[in-house]
């Protein structure tokens, strides 16, 4: 398959890597110095807490829609006088307020991107940041110029909207083309019924063991004598949970430190927003078998 032109071009922009790393470190530092509230805020921005789903794509529709209304209202007010000039001002104000949250959630997700995905995410983020800056300058001009249409303000917000569409295309490409923040277990193929994965002595207390259950990697953990099983591929970006760490019934992913409960697969901390599929463990005469608690598909 030929690589899309946009990917081919961005893949060559290696200079972005150093710049992206500085931004990522800055984001990590800000959340880090905030301590526990920072961790909660980060989970909130990812969508791990409260929403239980990536928050950024859910937010971005608001500034997109409101900004489109602002541009249309500005032009209708200018050419027909059938709308007050304030209509565009109000719509743009709504767009910018929502865009602020979109920027915060977007840069939080960007914090954990890597390689080509990171370059695309950076391009997307920078385009959106310029768009928002144009919108803010347009809003300021409207504020200072008082009532009546201000051609430069309208021109700036219109240019910002064009950038918003270009940036939105790249954001869609990140999710649908590159799989950023997509649940890595959504397409997993595994057993429909119990399948043998070993014998009881294979799973020592407190160790993380990866087994193959009809083609699906499963993490086996004996904790307090009881054997638990969840999908071994981290839902966030595919990290190997069996190479992570176990503490108090919670496994931490080695890649970006998402934390999952080993008994119910729920996310304790992001960046993951989706839980891990859970497996029922059956032991008969020391033979261990597992099957998905709920059908995978
Ligand atoms: S792959 Fe990112 S937290 Fe596991």
pLDDT in tens, 148-189: 668 899 999 999 999 999 999 999 999 999 999 999 999 999
Whether the Cβ atoms of residue 242 and residue 210 lie closer than 8 Å to each other: yes
Sign of the dihedral defined by the CA atoms of residues 99, 101, 104, 105, in that order: negative
Percent of the chain at pLDDT > 70 equals 99
Residue 237 alpha carbon, nearest atom of ligand 1: 1
Residue 236 Cβ contacting ligand 1 at under 6 Å? yes
Listed in sequence order, the residues at least 6 apart from 186 whose beta carbon sits closer than 8 Å to its beta carbon are none
How many CB atoms within 10 Å of residue 191? 19
Listed in sequence order, the residues at least 6 apart from 73 whose beta carbon sits closer than 8 Å to its beta carbon are 83, 87, 88, 91
Please give the pLDDT value at position 147.
67
Distance (angstroms) between ligand 1 centre and the Cα of 222 equals: 22
Distance (angstroms) between ligand 1 centre and the Cα of 194 equals: 28
Average pLDDT of the residues in 190-205: 94
Round the average pLDDT of the chain to a whole number and report it.
94
228 has which bridge partners?
Answer: 221
DSSP 62-85: HHHHHHHHHHHHHHHHHHH--S-T
Average pLDDT of the residues in 45-49: 95
Residue 1 in this model has a pLDDT that exceeds 70: no
Whether the Cβ atoms of residue 157 and residue 249 lie closer than 8 Å to each other: no
Residue 237 Cβ contacting ligand 1 at under 6 Å? yes
291 has which bridge partners?
Answer: 280
pLDDT band at 78 (very low <50, low <70, confident <90, very high): confident
Residue 234 Cβ contacting ligand 1 at under 6 Å? yes
Integer Cα distance of 281 and 290 in angstroms: 5
CA 111 to chain centre: 10
Residue 258 Cβ contacting ligand 1 at under 6 Å? yes
Residue 46 Cβ contacting ligand 1 at under 6 Å? no
Q: How far is CA 103 from CA 73, 122, 125, in A?
A: 24, 12, 8
Lowest pLDDT segment from 1-5, 122-126, 159-163, 226-230: 1-5
Residue 255 Cβ contacting ligand 1 at under 6 Å? yes
Please give the pLDDT value at position 148.
66
């Amino acid at each position: 398959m030929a690589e899309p032109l946009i990917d081919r071009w961005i893949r060559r922009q290696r200079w972005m890597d150093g710049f992206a790393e500085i931004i990522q470190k800055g984001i990590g530092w800000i959340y880090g110095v905030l301590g526990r509230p920072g961790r909660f805020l980060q989970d909130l921005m990812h969508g791990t807490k409260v929403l239980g789903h990536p928050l950024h794509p859910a937010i971005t529709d608001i500034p997109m829609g409101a900004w489109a209304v602002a541009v249309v209202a500005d032009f209708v007010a200018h050419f027909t006088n059938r709308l007050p000039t304030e209509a565009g001002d109000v719509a743009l104000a709504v767009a910018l307020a929502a865009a602020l949250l979109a920027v915060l959630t977007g840069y939080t997700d960007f914090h954990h991107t890597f390689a080509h995905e990171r370059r695309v995410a950076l391009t997307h983020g920078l385009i959106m940041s310029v768009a928002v800056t144009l919108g803010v300058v347009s809003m300021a001009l409207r504020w200072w110029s008082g009532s009546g249409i201000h051609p430069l303000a309208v021109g700036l917000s219109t240019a910002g909207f064009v950038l918003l569409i270009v940036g939105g295309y790249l954001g869609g490409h990140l999710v649908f083309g590159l799989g950023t923040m997509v649940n890595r277990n959504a397409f997993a193929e595994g057993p429909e019924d119990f399948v043998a994965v070993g014998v009881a002595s294979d799973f020592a207390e407190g160790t993380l063991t990866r087994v193959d259950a009809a083609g699906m990697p499963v993490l086996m953990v004996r904790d307090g004598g009881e054997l638990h099983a969840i999908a071994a591929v981290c839902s966030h970006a595919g990290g190997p949970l069996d190479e992570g760490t176990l503490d108090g019934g919670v496994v931490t992913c080695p890649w970006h430190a998402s934390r999952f409960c080993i008994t119910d697969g729920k996310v304790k901390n992001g960046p993951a927003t989706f839980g891990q599929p859970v497996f029922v463990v059956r032991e008969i005469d020391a033979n261990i078998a597992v099957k998905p608690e709920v059908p995978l598909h």
